[in-house]
Amino acid sequence: MPNKTIDFSDFEKKTKIIFKDKKILRQSFTHRSYINENAGTKLSHNERLEFLGDAVLELIVTDFLYKKYPTYAEGELTSLRSALVNAIIISEVAFDIGMNDYLLLSKGEQKDTGKARQYILANTYEAYVGAVYLDQGIEVVEDFLNKTLFLKTEEIVKKKLWRDAKSLVQEKAQEFVNVTPAYKVISESGPDHDKHFTIGIYFAKNLIAEGKGKSKQEAEQKAAENALKVKNWLD
């Protein structure tokens, strides 16, 4: 479907949020690349709305977590908030509610469905939050977040996804087996601009799990997550 034919009324019906200002709704879905490719358009890209939406999102999420988890310390709440509003979780939510079908992108960006699209979706979600705040007010934003993002909270808490996997596995390994985990590169492949790493996590000399990623840091995190599953330390 060409960008210019996108009908946002379908998205309004889906979210049950009918905008008074249709231009600001369209702007929230407009990526900078689309403006660059369509210089004559009267549209603006969504980066200012994203800036606003990020702040609105942080305030509402903070308020929600503060009330929901009255026994959590400040550090725990901060970590939980970071897990809830990170790009991976937000992009999943954005995709689940169909935002991917309404993005206004350049032809080049339309072809990229990997990590770049993930970040575009997360940024669009934040821009949309900013647009809803301006057009409808903070209570409507709260209702929208309740129906979309906050549904992820229980899973994050139950699986301890709010904890950094490497920190958690180190804490558990020292507690239960009295060792500090070590990470070693098992293999790497691909050209410099598209490397793929496989990294093992070891307790002493024992390989516990492996993780794959496009950077050593990403592969280490995956290895740590897999070790937590192998050792049944997530509950």
- For residue 192, the domain's CATH number is 3.30.160.20
Is residue 177 within 8 Å of 183, Cβ to Cβ? no
Q: How much is the pLDDT for 200?
A: 97
Q: From 142, 158, 174, give the residue that closes a domain.
A: 158
Number of domains in the chain: 2
Residue 204's identity, in one-letter code, is A
Q: From 100, 129, 158, give the residue that closes a domain.
A: 158
Question: Is residue 81 located within the same domain as residue 184?
Answer: no
Look at 181 and 157; give whichever has higher pLDDT.
Answer: 181
| Model pLDDT for residues 146-178, shown as the tens digit of each residue | 999 998 888 777 766 666 778 788 888 998 999
Q: How much is the pLDDT for 3?
A: 43
Q: From 104, 136, 158, give the residue that closes a domain.
A: 158
Q: Which of 12, 37, 47, 54 is catalytic?
A: 54
Q: Which of 126, 135, 220, 225 is catalytic?
A: 126
Cα 113–48–38 angle (5° rounding)?
60
| Cα–Cα distance measured from residue 204 to residue 81, given in angstroms and rounded to the nearest whole number | 34
Residue ranges making up the domain that contains 111: 3-158
| Cα–Cα distance measured from residue 163 to residue 233, given in angstroms and rounded to the nearest whole number | 12
Mean pLDDT value of segment 58-65: 96
Is residue 89 within 8 Å of 57, Cβ to Cβ? no
Question: Is residue 18 located within the same domain as residue 96?
Answer: yes
Q: How confident is the model at residue 53 (pLDDT cuts 50, 70, 90)?
A: very high
Is residue 215 one of the residues assigned to a domain?
yes
Look at 195 and 24; give whichever has higher pLDDT.
Answer: 24
Question: Is residue 172 located within the same domain as residue 144?
Answer: no
Question: Is residue 125 located within the same domain as residue 210?
Answer: no
Question: Is residue 197 located within the same domain as residue 89?
Answer: no
Active site residue 126: yes
Is residue 235 one of the residues assigned to a domain?
no
Question: Is residue 36 located within the same domain as residue 81?
Answer: yes
Q: How much is the pLDDT for 188?
A: 93
Q: How confident is the model at residue 1 (pLDDT cuts 50, 70, 90)?
A: very low
If phi over 0 gives left and psi between -120 and 50 gives alpha, with beta otherwise, what is residue 178?
Answer: left
Name the E strands within the chain: 182-189, 196-203, 206-213
Question: Is residue 50 located within the same domain as residue 135?
Answer: yes
- Whether residue 235 is predicted with pLDDT greater than 60 in this model: the reply is no
Active site residue 143: no
Report the length, in residues, of the chain. Answer: 235
Is residue 72 one of the residues assigned to a domain?
yes
| Model pLDDT for residues 81-134, shown as the tens digit of each residue | 888 888 888 999 999 999 999 999 988 778 777 777 888 999 999 999 999 999
Q: How confident is the model at residue 79 (pLDDT cuts 50, 70, 90)?
A: confident
DSSP, collapsed to helix, strand or coil, labels residue 131 as helix
* Global confidence as pTM: 0.70
Question: Is residue 184 located within the same domain as residue 205?
Answer: yes
- CATH assignment at residue 125: 1.10.1520.10
| Model pLDDT for residues 112-127, shown as the tens digit of each residue | 777 778 889 999 999 9
The β-bridge partners of 203 are 206
Look at 181 and 217; give whichever has higher pLDDT.
Answer: 181
Question: Is residue 113 located within the same domain as residue 39?
Answer: yes
